[in-house]
Structure 1
Amino acid sequence: MAQTISPFIRSPFTDITGGLVSHQLLDRCAKQEMAFMDCLEAYGLDRGLKKCQALFEDFHECQTYCKQLKRFTAMRRERDRQIACGKLCNDNKYVSPRIDSY
């Protein structure tokens, strides 16, 4: 699990540059990071790492897209398997889903 970075001496300079190491400056993961940091603040660092594990996993997924990439590769592998078996052929090989199927 990632360790949080805390400045040794706190000053206005550290407050200004603190956003450089976080996702709070107009980033797509800002809400997940804020929820995780609020949870850490409520429980403290030691207990918070255990209690806030689900929030950390959500934040990590937002940063890295690990689960989304695994899901994409599994779907691509299944499509390639069906093409190799002959279930999908000709025009049906690369048909996109219907627009309203999501």
Structure 2
Amino acid sequence: MSISPFLRSPFTDVTGGIVSHQLLGRCQKEEARYMDCLEAYGLERGKVKCAHLFGDFHECSTLTKQFKRFVAIRRERERQISEGKLTGDNRYVSPKVDSY
């Protein structure tokens, strides 16, 4: 995991925002918390101390848990359809708004 550039120059400072989520990104807060933690502990020690913040940031940017949850719900629905528990109009009914 490489966080800082090998060669630092004014060009890397100006273009650094392109690869971050700070410019109108959905994960601005998570990335800022993670970078603040890394700044406080340093890069090597921060990788260990800030692992929980990196996990939050990684989930926000990749949405892997959300996708796995979606796949599990889809599999369960298909299983219930194949067993005959869901038939007719009940096959693809969306959950109620307040069901979470």
Task: Using structure 2 for the length normalisation, give the TM-score.
Answer: 0.91
Name the structure 2 match of 1:88: 86
- The AA in structure 2 aligned to 1:47 is R
Cα distance in 2, alignment partners of residues 76 and 87 from structure 1: 14
Cα distance in 2, alignment partners of residues 92 and 71 from structure 1: 21
- Alpha-carbon offset, residue 7 of structure 1: 5.0
- The AA in structure 2 aligned to 1:22 is S
Task: Using structure 1 for the length normalisation, give the TM-score.
Answer: 0.89
The runs of 4+ residues in structure 1 deviating greater than 6 Å are none
**Pair 1:4-2:33 in alignment:** no
- Alpha-carbon offset, residue 71 of structure 1: 0.3
Cα distance in 2, alignment partners of residues 76 and 9 from structure 1: 47
SS of 1:88's partner is: coil
- The unaligned stretches of length 5 or more in structure 2 are none
Query: When the two structures are aligned, how many residues end up with a matched partner?
Result: 100
- The AA in structure 2 aligned to 1:41 is E
| 1:1-102 to 2 correspondences below 5 Å | 2-11=1-10, 13-102=11-100
SS of 1:100's partner is: coil
- Alpha-carbon offset, residue 17 of structure 1: 1.2
SS of 1:101's partner is: coil
Cα distance in 2, alignment partners of residues 9 and 91 from structure 1: 61
Cα distance in 2, alignment partners of residues 96 and 20 from structure 1: 38
- The AA in structure 2 aligned to 1:98 is K
- The unaligned stretches of length 5 or more in structure 1 are none
Does the Cα contact within 8 Å between 1:7 and 1:14 map onto a contact in 2? no
Does the Cα contact within 8 Å between 2:5 and 2:12 map onto a contact in 1? no
**Aligned Cα root-mean-square deviation (Å):** 1.3
- Alpha-carbon offset, residue 5 of structure 1: 2.5
